Every structure is written in structure tokens, then in C-alpha cells.
Amino acid sequence: MAIEHSGAMTSPALPLVMLFLLARSSAALPAQPAMDSVRWQVDKVNRRGPSLGLVMSYVDEATALQSSGYFSPWPVLPFLDLYGRRFHIGSIRGVNVIYALTGQRRLNAAVTVQTLIDVFTVSGIVHYGTAGSSNDSMSFGDVSVPKLVAYTGAWTWKKFKSSKESSAELSFGEYNIPNGGENLLGSLKYRNEELYSVGKPMKEVFWLPVDSEWFKIAEQLKVTLERCNDTFCLPATPQIVYGLKGSSADMFLDNAEYRNFLFREFGVSTVDEESAAVVMTTTSPGIPVIVFRGVSDLAGGEPIWSSTSLMNLASINALKVAVEFIATVGTQKSRASAERSNN
């Protein structure tokens, strides 16, 4: 603004200012040799052939993978650090895999998945982790394979005494104690997401589907889930549950009434912070995606055991299903490739 409106700065000073700003910007970028090294390493990874991207959000979920023995690091280049995240390069059951810990909530999840898609040659994204249950029919340690997920953290916060526009609105007055009524906080109207897809106009959506072909493959999996960890054993062996709905929001849900609201209004069975972001980021370019979430807590329901103790077991079970899925997809691709070679 000083350059345009002050007569104190003459025009010969403008190039000096621009040079100063460019110098400061260049100092923030990696040196050219470092950039060349990263490109060379990425090219080396991609020359292995396509990989499956595997993402998880919590450290405990990544620890479950690291201690399981499922993942074999690539001895040539076991990891690559990009944009503050470490991308581990290797294989699971003979299938090329690149896995990364995203961090919590949707921005971290979306950035990590977008990096995987943009930088590496990935044929799909597998997402596993833990979740809270909003469905009383699901038990601790169960693994949900949702068919649809939604982001339920985008709202229009309506004025006091605004008329109701849809059935799925959260009216604060209904939760007044003891008898409900009106509340100055008004109500929340849930908003759609804007989905931008390759070759298609922008579309407003609420529900985001996982890949239909991958979901069919997942339905055929035979996995015995773990009932015990180092702390205790569950009363019954957990199960894999298919085709339910999941929701994500940038908050940890620990409220029974809101948990019940989500199940009643949207049919949501699991709640987490990242699944919708992972699915939406992969849906835009049309890359297959699947989600596996192990139940670790009741999202505000009556606790029976410590959710901290159960997180380990829920992570292990979600990982077991994800690993079996990766192996099955890899076998099918190998079989298809062999058939093409024979024809």
C-alpha cells in the first residue's frame, strides 16, 4: 500500500523491494539439491509399481501395525518424509503398501490422503482405525465396514424461534431439563458437502459411499477377531458388521443424547473424526476407498470398561480386517494380471 499511495517511495525503489521479497520467499523453500533428491526417491518408489495407500489417525492405531509384523519395510527405501509426515514404504502379504499416520481430524486426514494420491502411484486407499458406537446393537471390539459415511460437523446455526426446515435438525430446546421447551441457542441445520469430481460438475452431497466393488470384496472376508488383550477378555468374540452408516466431525463425541440423536435421525452406527474426509478426498479423483473402524467406546453411552483399554483391541481388530482385505485385493489383481498375460 505504501508503494501505491506514498510519494516518499520513488519508482527505482520498487525493484529493490521485489528482490527483497523474492529473497525471503526463496529462503523458505528447500534447496534445489534437496528437492531433486526427493523427486529421485519418489520416482524410485513409484518404479516398484502401484501401491495401496494405508492410513490411520491415532498413534495407537499405527502402533498396532508396527507391532503386528504384518508390514515388511522395503529395504531399498523404507520411508520418505514429506510435508512433515513420514510415508512408510513396504508390503503386506506381498502387496505393495505405503502407510502413513494422518493425525486427527479431517484436515490432517485429507492432506495426508491427497499427498499419497498426488505424489505416489496408488491404486486405492484403505483406512482403518477406532470409532465410538452410536448403535446399541454393536459391541466393543466389533469392526464396522460402512457403506456410507457423512460429515456431520457442518451446520447452519439458526436463529431463535426459526421455523424447522427439515426433520434432521437439532433443536436445543428439546433437551431442556425437565420438560423441554424453547432455548436461546435455537437449532442446528445440517449442511451438505460440496463434492468436486473429475469430469463432473460440483455436486452437493450428504452421504459419501465407499467403493462399491471394494465393498463387495470386503463382504466376503473371513476373519476371526480378537476377544482378549493384555488387560482383559470380552464376554463374546467380536464380529464384522457390514453396510452400516458412519459419521465424522471435528470433535470427540462423549455425549449420550447427541449419540442417540445421530442414530435416530441419520441411522449412524459409528462416529469418528476422519472417515468422511478420507472418502471424500479419494472420491474426487475416482480412486477406490474402503473404511474399517473398530468399536472402542460408546460415544457417551454408559461405560462398562475403560475406552483407553479397549482402544488397543479395537485397533488390532480393525487392522486384522484391513490386512485381510489388502491380501485379498492383491491376490485378485495378481490373478487378473496372470490371465491377461496368458490371453
Does residue 12 carry a pLDDT above 60? no
What residues make up the domain containing 313?
35-154+191-338
Asked whether residue 159 is domain-assigned, the answer is no
Asked whether residue 94 is domain-assigned, the answer is yes
Domain count of the chain?
A: 1
Asked whether residue 30 is domain-assigned, the answer is no
pLDDT tier at 298 (50, 70, 90 boundaries)?
Answer: confident
Q: Distance (Å, rounded) from C-alpha 261 to C-alpha 257?
A: 6
| Mean pLDDT, residues 82-88 taken together | 93
Q: What rounded mean pLDDT belongs to the chain? A: 86
Does residue 24 carry a pLDDT above 70? no
pTM value is 0.85
Asked whether residue 56 is domain-assigned, the answer is yes
pLDDT tier at 320 (50, 70, 90 boundaries)?
Answer: very high
- List the Cα angle 284/285/289 in 5-degree steps: 80
Q: What is the pLDDT of residue 333?
A: 76
Q: What is the pLDDT of residue 66?
A: 95
Q: What percent of the chain has pLDDT over 70?
A: 84
| Higher pLDDT among residues 111 and 308, named by residue | 111
CATH number of residue 317's parent domain: 3.40.50.1580
pLDDT tier at 311 (50, 70, 90 boundaries)?
Answer: confident
Q: What is the pLDDT of residue 226?
A: 94
pLDDT digits (tens, 9 = 90+) for 129-140: 999 999 988 989
From residue 241, alpha-carbon distances to 83, 245, 246, 291, 326 in Å are: 36, 11, 12, 12, 18
Asked whether residue 6 is domain-assigned, the answer is no
The 3 state secondary structure assigned to the chain is CHHHHCCCCCCCHHHHHHHHHHHHHHHHCCCHHHHHHHHHHHHHHHCCCCEEEEEECCHHHHHHHHCCCCEEECCCCCEEEECCEEEEEEEECCEEEEEEECCCCHHHHHHHHHHHHHHCCEEEEEEEEEEEECCCCCCCCCEEECCEEEECCCEEEECCCCCCCCCCEEEHHHHCCCCCCCCCCCEEEECCEEECCCCCCCEEECEEECCHHHHHHHHCCCCCCCCECCCCECCCCCCEEECCEEEECCCCCCCHHHHHHHHHHHCEEEEECCHHHHHHHHHCCCCCEEEEEEEEECCCCCCCCCHHHHHHHHHHHHHHHHHHHHHHHHHHHHHHHHHHHHC
Asked whether residue 171 is domain-assigned, the answer is no
| Mean pLDDT, residues 154-168 taken together | 82
Q: Given the C-alpha cell 495407500, which residue does it identify?
A: 53
| Mean pLDDT, residues 327-335 taken together | 83
Asked whether residue 201 is domain-assigned, the answer is yes
pLDDT digits (tens, 9 = 90+) for 213-249: 999 999 999 999 999 888 778 889 999 999 999 999 9
Q: What is the pLDDT of residue 26?
A: 39
pLDDT digits (tens, 9 = 90+) for 261-283: 999 999 999 999 999 999 999 99
Asked whether residue 1 is domain-assigned, the answer is no
